[in-house]
Amino acid sequence: MNLLDRIPARRPRTKKEMIEYLSSHFRYHTLRSWNRMTSYAHNVKIYNLPRKSKDVESKAYDLVFTAQAGQIAQKHFEEFNRQTDYRYSIITSGRSGGYFVLVESERTDSGYKSECPVCGQLNYRLVPPDKNTLDYLLVRQLLKNWTNETILREPEVLNFSADGNKKQNALLRLRPIYKDFSSDAHCGRCGFEQRENLSSPVYQTAIRFNGIDGEEDFNDWEKYRLERRVKTIFLFDQIVRRTTLNFVKFVKTHRPEQAIRYLAETETIAVPINQ
């Protein structure tokens, strides 16, 4: 029996079918066996893959840890995340990553606000406004922790060509966010002089390794609750199915080859001082 034989062709509908489906589903540890937390899972070890010949199985062992194979799984895992609104994720578990396991997750804003266009370093601070603008002048004053009244009396601010109301409104707008600005746009990693503010948030997904339904008696569940859980688990099953089938297709159309990679490294060594 291979992996596909364990995945139902249609979603269970009756209460009896749903209880049987959830109760009999294969499970695996979410982290390590000692934490005794388990969740819905699939054994995706190579010997368990569907539609494979001996040649495919042999090649699969050489290709499974390639970057391209990882991208296949990542693409489908991300699809699952989106369809569950990032409330669930799929992780690999086991010593060789031979199990796909369902876990709870949460998507949150990472807090990054700017990025270096050269090296990609992310920064938690906003790039300051362009020089010679009122916003730039006011942010510089706000970073000194001065009050609005003190700032408006500063000679630089008084002499800036804008009316008092515009200056006051700009201060009210900038006051709640001024601490998000850095003093300059310099990148701390590569030294490039002009970071750029992000156009959209950078999200991160936090994984919860607590088990899912490990001790549940589904006979006590209302039908609507069973339907919601079955919908999630059935989607999980279908994503695993597509991932493994696409991996087998990938193996059939690729061959392993050793590539030589050069990595330039430096290290500090001791040499005699010339006398």
Whether residue 4 is predicted with pLDDT greater than 80 in this model: the reply is: no
Tokens of 65: 């840890």
Phi-psi region of 13 (alpha: psi -120 to 50; beta: other; left: phi over 0): alpha
Measured in Å, how far apart are the chain's first and last C-alpha atoms?
Answer: 76
What confidence score (pLDDT) does residue 271 get?
A: 53
Look up residue 223 and give its amino acid. K
What's the CA gap between 226 and 238, in Å, rounded? 18
Res. 26: pLDDT tops 60:
yes
Query: Which of 124, 102, 101, 121 lies closest to 112, judged by CA?
Result: 124
Instruction: Provide the pLDDT confidence category of residue 270 given band limits of 50, 70 and 90.
Output: very low
Confidence of residue 50 (pLDDT cuts 50, 70, 90): confident
Residue range 156-162: mean pLDDT, rounded: 90
Give per-residue pLDDT as tens, 201-227: 999 999 998 899 998 999 999 999 999
AA letter at 90: I
255 Cβ neighbours under 8 A, 6+ residues apart: 59
Q: pLDDT value at position 79?
A: 96
Whether 104 has a pLDDT exceeding 60, the answer reads yes
Q: Alpha-carbon distance 183 to 140, whole Å?
A: 7
The residues with which 203 forms a beta bridge, in sequence order, are 109
Q: What is the DSSP string of 75-128?
A: HHHHHHHHHTTTSEEEEEESTTS-EEEEEEEEEEE----EE-TTT--EESSBPP
